[in-house]
Amino acid sequence: MNRTTIDLWVGIFVAMGLAALVFLSFQVANLTGGTSGETYTLVARFDDLGGLKVKAPVKSSGVVVGRVADVSFDNNTFQAIVKFKVEQRYQFPLDTSAKILTSGLLGDQYIGLLPGGDPDNLKDGDSIELTQGAIVLENLISKFLFNATTSGDGKDKEKGKDTKAAATADEFEE
Amino acid sequence: MTQPTSFAFLRALGARTINAVWRLGFATRFLLATVRHTPAAFRRLPLTMREIYFAGVLSLTIILVSGLFVGMVLGLQGYDTLARFGSSEALGVLVALSLVRELGPVVAALLFASRAGSAITAEIGLMKATEQLDAMEMMAVDPVARVIAPRFWGGVISMPLLGALFTATGILGGYVVGVVMIGVDVGQFWSQMQAAVDFREDVMNGMIKSFVFGIAVTWIAVFEGYEAPPTAEGVSGATTRTVVTSALVILALDFVMTAFMFHGVR
């Protein structure tokens, strides 16, 4: 085995290895499409996070616009505080609302942003006032069972009113 | 100094312990000596190139073929399980994450230890048995600089590249089985994979694992070869020890590194 042949094979080997690395970085890990570049941080308070985790996506109209950066608990209001980073190129009005949604029936949870109509935009460190927490399946089922039993006897008018309110709440959440 | 024979067991235990500690200390000093001779390995680049050829290029076949089959098996098994939960689109995530984080570095390192590590040990051991290393010393050529350091760096450079190639062919194997043969949606396959695999968290940590395994396996291989008793039996024993010790060290190190790397990721 002379030297030029060895050099050629080692060159091919190293080139293949680097190509595999590039493949892993761009095709598998999508290095370019991450939340690289400038971001700004927004804060939102939720009554219930469900299973929201750090690094969960923040979506608007289904497009990923940012990632959850930090999750903590406020011991004064007993609410969850979520800090998330939004890419600088996406701007949202001041009265944007945030919801915690689930992708698919049993999928991961993410934050959905619904833009409002305010002429001014949210800036770095601003907090989103209109929020709606995650739908916890147990609460939903218990509400449904409560509705089914109360509408079943149909005598109590007062309870009927409650049921209606609960039903509208359900519709809103869905 | 005469002792009762009932102490024989304790004495044997003591001798084994002292021997183990001595070997560990000697192996560490040997590694330091090798690292100190790094400039020699790169000044005489053709020597290191030759070792990259023997450790890396000649391992390509086994690494690529094994990677392809591991990925294809992951595709079949993963699809079988995921289809029960109606989420067969997540096949790409399953194949990519298991390969990038664990199987790629670990299986590639195990193959590397048995393919290249054993060859390095046998070669150095035979050089010692035929007194080539002593002959070098007689000619004022440091065998650590001339023989050990190029082999060490050849292995350390080859291992991460082989790990990356194993992972990449494995993912392609999973793609072939999942998308081409079974018919998982091609867009879902790649896009879910890209959403789930993080460059720093997964790809970089996998590469760090490969690199550490490369150092461990090559270190064990050159040390066992250098330390082999200069007999045919000694060389064969050293070669066996290289493969066994490497496998154990790879799996133990993998556990430790995984505990550190992915502990905080929920």
Q: Are B116 and B219 in contact (CB under 8 A)?
A: no
Region A138-164 average pLDDT:
67
For chain B, what is the radius of gyration of the CA atoms?
22
> Residue A169 has what pLDDT?
52
Tokens 């050990």 belong to which residue? Answer: B148
Check B60 against A25: CB less than 8 A apart: no
Neighbours of A24 (CB within 10 A): 27
Residues with Cβ within 8 Å of B102's Cβ and at least 6 positions away in sequence, in order, are: B254, B258
Check A28 against B100: CB less than 8 A apart: yes
Query: For the CA atoms of B74, B77, B82, B87, what is the dihedral angle to 10 degrees?
Result: 50
> Residue B125 has what pLDDT?
94
> Residue B139 has what pLDDT?
92
End-to-end CA distance of chain A: 71
Lowest mean pLDDT among A27-31, B47-51, B259-263: A27-31
Q: Are A115 and A93 in contact (CB under 8 A)?
A: yes
Report the candidate in B263, B265, B158, B154 with the shortest Cα–Cα distance to residue B210.
B158
Distance CA A80, CA B30 (A): 55
Q: What is the pLDDT of residues A18-54, one digit of tens each?
A: 999 999 888 888 766 544 568 889 999 988 888 787 7
Distance CA B143, CA B136 (A): 6
> Residue B41 has what pLDDT?
82
Mean pLDDT (chain B, rounded): 90
> Residue B130 has what pLDDT?
92
Residues of B in contact with A51 (CB under 8 A): none
**CA distances for B136 relative to B47, B125, B226, angstroms:** 15, 15, 14
Highest mean pLDDT among A19-33, A46-60, A145-159, B125-139: B125-139
Q: Which residue among B49, B56, B194 places its CB closest to the CB of A30?
A: B194
Highest mean pLDDT among A32-36, A103-107, B244-248: B244-248
> Residue B75 has what pLDDT?
94
Tokens 């760090």 belong to which residue? Answer: B208
Check B190 against A9: CB less than 8 A apart: no
Check B53 against A27: CB less than 8 A apart: no
Q: Are A46 and A133 in contact (CB under 8 A)?
A: yes
Check A12 against B57: CB less than 8 A apart: yes
Between A105 and B106, residue with greater pLDDT: B106
Check A29 against B203: CB less than 8 A apart: yes
Measured CA angle at B56 (ends B55, B60), to 5 deg: 120
> Residue A35 has what pLDDT?
47
Cross-strand bridge partners of residue A73:
A80
Neighbours of B109 (CB within 10 A): 29
Q: What is the pLDDT of residues B160-205, one digit of tens each?
A: 999 999 999 999 999 999 999 998 888 888 888 888 888 888 899 9
Give the gap in angstroms from C-alpha A143 to the nearest C-alpha of chain B.
27
Nearest Cα residue in chain B from A51: B266
Q: Are B174 and B74 in contact (CB under 8 A)?
A: yes
Distance CA A20, CA B210 (A): 14
> Residue B8 has what pLDDT?
86
Give the gap in angstroms from C-alpha B29 to the nearest C-alpha of chain A.
30
Region A144-157 average pLDDT:
68
Confidence class for position A136, pLDDT limits 50, 70, 90: confident
Report the candidate in A136, A146, A147, A138 with the shortest Cα–Cα distance to residue A173.
A136
Q: Are B115 and B218 in contact (CB under 8 A)?
A: no
Report the candidate in B57, B55, B10, B33 with the shortest Cα–Cα distance to residue B227.
B33
Mutate to test the interface with B, among A6, A22, A28 (most CBs of B within 10 A): A28
Distance CA A19, CA B132 (A): 39
Please name the amino acid found at residue B82.
L
What angle do the packed helices B205-227 and B118-129 form, to 10 degrees?
20
**pLDDT greater than 90 at residue B121:** yes
Mutate to test the interface with B, among A2, A10, A53 (most CBs of B within 10 A): A10
Confidence class for position B68, pLDDT limits 50, 70, 90: very high
**pLDDT greater than 60 at residue B118:** yes
Report the candidate in B45, B255, B247 with the shortest Cα–Cα distance to residue B157.
B45
Q: In what side-by-side order are the strands of the sheet with A127-128?
A: A127-128, A39-46, A79-87, A63-74, A57-60, A109-114, A97-102, A130-132
Nearest Cα residue in chain A from B154: A10
Residues of A in contact with B165 (CB under 8 A): 16-17, 20
Region A131-152 average pLDDT:
81
Region B41-48 average pLDDT:
86
Helix (H, G, I), strand (E, B) or coil at B5: helix
**pLDDT greater than 50 at residue A174:** no
> Residue A47 has what pLDDT?
87
Q: What is the pLDDT of residues B74-111, one digit of tens each?
A: 999 999 999 888 888 889 999 999 999 999 999 999 99
* CB-count burial class (<10 Å; 0-12, 13-18, 19+) for A56: buried
Measured CA angle at A168 (ends A165, A172), to 5 deg: 135
Please give the share of chain A, as a percent, with pLDDT higher than 70: 79
* CB-count burial class (<10 Å; 0-12, 13-18, 19+) for B262: middle
Please give the share of chain B, as a percent, with pLDDT higher than 90: 70
Helices (H) and strands (E) in chain B, counts: 13, 0
Give the gap in angstroms from C-alpha A89 to the nearest C-alpha of chain B.
20
Check A24 against B100: CB less than 8 A apart: yes
> Residue B266 has what pLDDT?
46
HSE (side-chain half, CA atoms, 13 Å) at B24 = 6
Q: What is the pLDDT of residues B10-31, one digit of tens each?
A: 999 999 999 999 999 999 999 9
Core vs surface per residue B248-261: b (16+ CB within 10 A) or e: ebbeebbeebeeeb
The pTM is what?
Answer: 0.75
Q: Which residue among A24, A30, A34 places its CB closest to the CB of B164?
A: A24
Overall residue count recorded for chain B in this entry: 266
Report the candidate in B17, B27, B20 with the shortest Cα–Cα distance to residue B227.
B27
> Residue B120 has what pLDDT?
94
Q: What is the pLDDT of residues B194-240, one digit of tens each?
A: 888 888 888 999 999 999 999 999 999 999 999 999 999 999 999 99
Q: Which residue among B53, B161, B203 places its CB closest to the CB of A6?
A: B53
